[in-house]
Amino acid sequence: MKKHLLLIGILILSVLGGCANATDKNGGADSNEPTQGGSIVIGIPQDLDSLDPHIAKAAGTDEVLFNVFEGLVKPDQYGKVNPAVAESYSLSEDSMKYVFVLRDNVKFHNGDVVTTEDVVYSLRRCAGFEDALDPSVTVESAFSIIKDIYATDNKTVVVELTAPSTELIYYFTTAIIPKNYKNQATAPVGTGPYKFVSYTPLESFVVEKFQDYYGTKPYLDKVTFSIYANIDAAFLELMAGKIDLMSQLSSDQAAQLTSIYNVVYSNFNLVQALFLNNDFEPFKNPDVRKALCMAINRDEINQMISDGHGTIIGSGVFPGLSTIFAGDLVNYYKFDQAAAKKLLADAGYPDGFSFTITIPSSYDQHVATGEVIVEQLKKIGVTAKIELVEWSAWLSEVYSGRKYESTIIGLDANLAPGDVLKRYRSTAGNNFINFISEEFDVTYASALASQSDAEKAELYKKCQNILTENAASVYIQDPAQITVVKKGLGGYTPYPVYVMDISKLYYVK
């Protein structure tokens, strides 16, 4: 059965070319010519947390709003950023000043032309410069090094920094919105290929083709994002073929749908790990953490959870960030329960110990991973107990409160190379595992400041090395993203960031 599935998977991959590193432009579907028009339903397993792109925080919301909003630059499927609302940009020699030249005649969905005023307003809002700011607006912490944002003429916007940064460009993907428009939260207006039609909480989010889009026009006329409580709730409708595309399925679920859907395996672009609170007694000892790294069989987890389609990792970076990913760390800790047991005994725990793994109950994948880990740890005499909590409780108790022993979660990141690692700085507000390493802090700082791409990559790899050597946590995998795409639909393109690009989807002739 497994082999069979693998074969199907490979076949589909080769037909759709949907794999993240596929090079073909049109999803490899050469013989399947795209047609214009049509409408589809995409299932999403969570509601949107806000329609205002500067307020929305959930990855699941960004994924959808990606089609409505654009930044000065926009990410592509290869993990690069390309000019969007800006036609071009340049960075000063000392990396202290970005200059953006706006594209002519980019229109908002309400018909207004994008001006430098709108751009300056949008960036200032994200940087926390605007007065009377709505406190729920996400202030992009990376923008804290911005000194000033201003327009020099009606086409040019300048961003001055207080410290050099070559990586800030990745954050200019932040949405450009009209300055004098107050209804973003209920009727969003952006510049993307699709424009907002309607939103009904817990029911649907509908968009239609934006006729005045400056770039390549999308194929489909109308797309409905149908909101479900979870995959199970959508499953019957998937079986009935009422949903055209849906991600985040389990391999079992996908296997039941192959008669009407093609299954696409890609990466989730998450760092899934058993995160250990380095401040909790047994985990204070690096040897205990190392023992856990050796006692957990990541291949088995990958097989059980995603039928082997996940990608094993050995440190805090997912492989999608290919320029800095340290592949040699994947097998730093080899699965060896005898050695793990010995290490534990030497560390003063000959009879093992017990601890709790706190997992947000809404993530089936992490819960299942936890169950496998509990079984694996039994073999070295360590008793782990799973405690399921609601997402909201997880955020306040585990993530902000750091009142936990261990947890399983998948961390996502911006495409900027340093983003995924910045939480491990000793003073980082979101360093929820309490990892303290002076060496890491110094290395990270010099990586961020470095102007040479090669040196930067080296230093970030060293950062990962420090995490792995110290066994900061048990890094497991970048889980498999399993997507079902209705047969007859082409152009599905996975990204190395969490987006669903509907502008490339089409019905084949």
Partner 1 sequence: MKYIGKKLIALAITLLAISFVTFFAFTIIPGDAATSIMGMDASEEQLDALREELGLNDPLIVRYGRWVKGALMLDFGTSLQYKTDVAKLIGGRLTATLGLALEAILIILILSVPLGIISSKKPNGAVDNIITVLTQFGMAVPQFFLGIMLTYVFGILLRIVNMGGYVNPAESFDGFLRFLILPAITVAIPKLSMMTKYLRDCIVAQKKQDYVRTARAKGNSEGRILTHHVLKNAIIPSITFFAMIVADVLAGSIVCEQVFAIPGVGRLLTASISNRDFPVVSAIVLYVAVVVVVMNTLADVFYRVVDPRVK
Contacts with partner 1, residue ranges (CB under 8 A): 41, 47, 49-50, 57-58, 134-136, 138-139, 141, 185-186, 200-203, 226, 228-229, 233-234, 236-237, 239-240, 242, 362, 389-397, 399-400, 429-430
Q: Which is nearer to partner 1, 240 or 454 (CB)?
A: 240
Smallest gap from Cβ 120 to partner 1, in A, equals 22
Smallest gap from Cβ 243 to partner 1, in A, equals 8
Q: Six-digit token pair at 380?
A: 């070295």
Q: Which is nearer to partner 1, 349 or 363 (CB)?
A: 363
Smallest gap from Cβ 188 to partner 1, in A, equals 13
Host H or E run for residue 271: strand 271-276
Q: Which is nearer to partner 1, 248 or 297 (CB)?
A: 248
Q: Which is nearer to partner 1, 184 or 251 (CB)?
A: 184
Q: Which is nearer to partner 1, 166 or 226 (CB)?
A: 226
Closest CA to 264 of 31, 25, 485: 485
Smallest gap from Cβ 229 to partner 1, in A, equals 5
Smallest gap from Cβ 484 to partner 1, in A, equals 16
Task: Judge whether 102 and 88 are in contact, CB under 8 Å.
Answer: no
Residue 405: HSE in the Cβ half-sphere, 13 Å Cα cutoff? 14
Host H or E run for residue 89: strand 86-91
Task: Judge whether 406 and 357 are in contact, CB under 8 Å.
Answer: yes
Closest CA to 201 of 21, 62, 25, 49: 49
- What are the CA-CA distances from residue 507 to residues 206, 240, 254, 459 (Å)? 19, 19, 21, 45
Q: Which is nearer to partner 1, 121 or 394 (CB)?
A: 394
Q: Which is nearer to partner 1, 57 or 385 (CB)?
A: 57
Smallest gap from Cβ 270 to partner 1, in A, equals 12
> CA 58, CA 62: separation in Å to the nearest integer?
7
Closest CA to 140 of 399, 414, 409, 411: 414
Which runs of consecutive H residues, i.e. helices, occur in 205-325? Answer: 231-239, 251-255, 281-284, 286-295, 298-306
Q: Six-digit token pair at 432?
A: 């929820």
Smallest gap from Cβ 371 to partner 1, in A, equals 21
Q: Which is nearer to partner 1, 199 or 283 (CB)?
A: 199
CA 18, 21, 22, 23 dihedral sign is: positive
Closest CA to 20 of 508, 507, 497, 505: 497
Task: Judge whether 102 and 87 are in contact, CB under 8 Å.
Answer: yes
Smallest gap from Cβ 68 to partner 1, in A, equals 18
Q: Which is nearer to partner 1, 92 or 186 (CB)?
A: 186
Smallest gap from Cβ 236 to partner 1, in A, equals 5
Smallest gap from Cβ 418 to partner 1, in A, equals 15
Tokens 């990410």 appear where? 75
Q: Six-digit token pair at 246?
A: 């849906």
> Which residues lie below 8 Å from residue 375, measured CB to CB, with a gap of 6+?
none
Q: Which is nearer to partner 1, 236 or 454 (CB)?
A: 236
> Phi, psi at residue 405, to the nearest 5°?
-105, -50
Displacement of CA 123 from its chain's centroid (Å): 22
Smallest gap from Cβ 485 to partner 1, in A, equals 18
Per the DSSP assignment, residues forming a β-bridge with 506 are 490
Smallest gap from Cβ 137 to partner 1, in A, equals 9
Closest CA to 67 of 194, 207, 222, 172: 194
Q: Which is nearer to partner 1, 108 or 228 (CB)?
A: 228
Per the DSSP assignment, residues forming a β-bridge with 474 are 274
Tokens 């004098």 appear where? 180
Reported in sequence order, the residue ranges of 193-250 that DSSP labels E, i.e. its strands, are 194-200, 204-209, 222-227, 245-246
CA 9, 11, 16, 21 dihedral sign is: positive
Angle (CA) 157 83 507, round 5°: 140
Q: Which is nearer to partner 1, 392 or 452 (CB)?
A: 392
